Chain A
Amino acid sequence: MRNLYLPHLTTIKTAVQETFDTWTFELEFQDPALRESFVFQPGQFGLLSAFGAGESTLTLASGSLRRGSVDVTFRKIGRVTGALASLNTGDTIGFRGPYGNRFPMELFKGKNLLFIAGGIGLPAVTSVLYDALAARGEYGTITVLYGARSSRDLVYQRQIAEWERRPDVNMVKTVDPWGVTEGWDGMVGLIPVVLEKINPSPENAVAIMCGPPIMIKFTLQALEKLGFSPEQVYLTLENKMKCGLGKCGRCNVGDLYICKEGPVYTAAQTRRMYPDF
């Protein structure tokens, strides 16, 4: 019987320091067969091992069309992410996955896409964005609203600059009012406030969102005010996980095991959930 808990081995191909405490690793599978065969769907996640420290759950942040390697972005905040942060290009990281459900890309076709992300939530939705940009003609307008506590906490600054240059992407970046630093050229304000300012139309649109619980709470209210129905809003609920396989018992929101039945839900679905956030 296959050992579910045995990770694949990957090598850190490139390592980018995004902010003072956040890194992006491109991970290449060491097994050549797996480099060929590994596929995932936007929204799925993996369990990353820093050997000796343990495993952490991270959403796969690269586009699903890339072969041979995947990107993950993490903030150094605990034991495992601290150990990951101490690794360098060429070092080995364990990988289990892909796990979880996915964003229904087929339902997004022809729709206007509104991405809303806060802080380290952006990497959880970029797989959808990359896939949409790879088939740009199949989607309507693309708006990316991304905010962080301060301009020093924004991840993916190079990609943001790229999206800002694209005429077919409306890139809106913002920082909290107390997080402005010299030279900041984006907006200032909390995400729900900025969202109401940019006033996106709910017509033929879907919102794709990830961020801290407090941001989600108020942004859902703002979306409702703008006329978005809960069926139009997609969230990825990242809870604490250990196994990713529906056994270890900690990611549940009421009767739902986020690792197997999530992490992607519509706001309509989250409304029917037990208030366990």
Chain B
Amino acid sequence: MTRLTRNNLDRWVEALLAERIRVVGPVMQAGQPVYAPISRPSALDFSSVIPRNSIKDFLFPQTETVMLYTIRKTGVEVTDAKPAGGEFPDTVILGARPCDAAGMTSLRAVFTWQGEEDPLFLERLARTTVVTLACVRGDACCFCTSVGLAPDAPAGSDLLLRETVDGNFSVEAVTDKGTHLLARWAQYFEEGAETLRPVIPPPVIERSNVEKMLGWLSDPANYSHEVWSEHAAQCLGCGACTYVCPTCHCFDLTDEGTAYQGDRRKNWDACQFDHFAAHASGHNPRALQSQRWRNRFMCKFHFYPTKFSAAGCVGCGRCIRVCYVGLDIAEMMEKVSACADRQVPDA
């Protein structure tokens, strides 16, 4: 078994930072666990169940320049914001949770869909190594086990670390990129036996079934079912759920600058906002908040799996933790599963 002691982890991080590699990991900021770039290993804090933000922030940033423009009397010049290489930082995300890592494979599916490759996301992904730390416990909002994942699911990870009883880590290479990373920094890793910390996985939501939901959601007739308006009646449309979600991919393209020059930006957007899909004419295909809430749920459990062949929900539970009015997607999963049960006649 390959292992990494906590001491060696700190030295490895120092070595990475010395090579000007961006290291992102869980840290405490104002009493809250968040993923953030660190400048010293002592900032790392693996004690929280899960940081408030997702690692999406570092692959699909909240705002990103896609193009620069200059307006002159003689015409307009546009410049690619991404000169050959260089601009995107080499990054190691250290201590990502497995649900977060899995979410990046879902984003990749969107950003390469039908051969349309988003160069910004893919370039960042190519320069990022995801070193995941398996969970040993969940909190009341975690439900990865109900969407086909697990506290040590390897999807989206390059290296998978597991905590050992003596405070060190066992190391498993998941991808070639992970193997290369191990070989490159071999001096910090060693062989040896370890006893892993026992894992308490979050309980499976028994009354929820992703397969069953997919069947019910596939029927357009169920789009007008009262379960949607009932459940989403309290939604404020703040969009916080989409910002903390590892798989929410919606964005806006806007120009920001002066009358003569500026940049076109790809900014996070949210299907929860009232103007999101509104036409310039004023017509809005999803004019009600319950319709917008339905759209997000549909995206997670129908559009993602059928369209992008990827998981739309990774069970991180962030949208539940962050919701000001306590809307619970897991509760809706139960309700929709119950609708599916009622619709299928007993054999």
The residue from B67, B223, B255, B280 contacting A52, defined by CB atoms under 8 A apart? B255
Q: Does B266 contact A (CB under 8 A)?
A: yes
B253 close to A51 (CB less than 8 A)? no
Number of B residues with CB within 8 Å of any CB on chain A: 55
Q: Does B252 contact A (CB under 8 A)?
A: yes
- Name which of B90-98, B112-120, B156-164, B203-211 contacts chain A: B112-120
A4 close to B220 (CB less than 8 A)? no
A54-B255, A212-B283 as given contacts; A252 in contact with B224, CB under 8 Å: no
* Complex interface: chain B residues within 8 A of A243 (CB): 251, 253
Q: Does B259 contact A (CB under 8 A)?
A: yes
* Complex interface: chain A residues within 8 A of B188 (CB): none
* Complex interface: chain A residues within 8 A of B302 (CB): 255
Q: Does A242 contact B (CB under 8 A)?
A: yes
The residue from A7, A81, A251 contacting B67, defined by CB atoms under 8 A apart? A7
A193 to B99, CA, bound (A): 56
A245 to B113, CA, bound (A): 9
* Complex interface: chain B residues within 8 A of A184 (CB): none
Q: Does B332 contact A (CB under 8 A)?
A: no
The residue of chain A having its C-beta at the shortest distance from the C-beta of B224 within the complex is A275
A94 close to B76 (CB less than 8 A)? yes
Q: Does A240 contact B (CB under 8 A)?
A: yes
B277 close to A52 (CB less than 8 A)? no
Q: Does B276 contact A (CB under 8 A)?
A: yes
A250 close to B116 (CB less than 8 A)? no
**Chain A nearest CB, measured from B21 CB (Å):** 22
Q: Does B23 contact A (CB under 8 A)?
A: no
The residue of chain A having its C-beta at the shortest distance from the C-beta of B126 within the complex is A1
A52-B71, A253-B285 as given contacts; A248 in contact with B253, CB under 8 Å: yes
3 smallest beta-carbon distances between A and B, as pairs? A249-B250, A92-B76, A1-B119
Q: List 25 A-B contacts (CB under 8 A).
A: A6-B66, A52-B71, A54-B253, A78-B280, A212-B283, A213-B283, A240-B278, A242-B253, A246-B110, A246-B113, A246-B114, A246-B116, A247-B249, A248-B251, A248-B253, A248-B269, A250-B276, A250-B277, A254-B303, A255-B306, A260-B116, A274-B220, A276-B223, A276-B285, A276-B286
- Which residues of A line the B interface, CB within 8 A? 1-7, 9, 11, 30, 49, 51-56, 75, 77-78, 81, 92, 94, 212-213, 238-240, 242-243, 245-255, 257, 260, 272-277
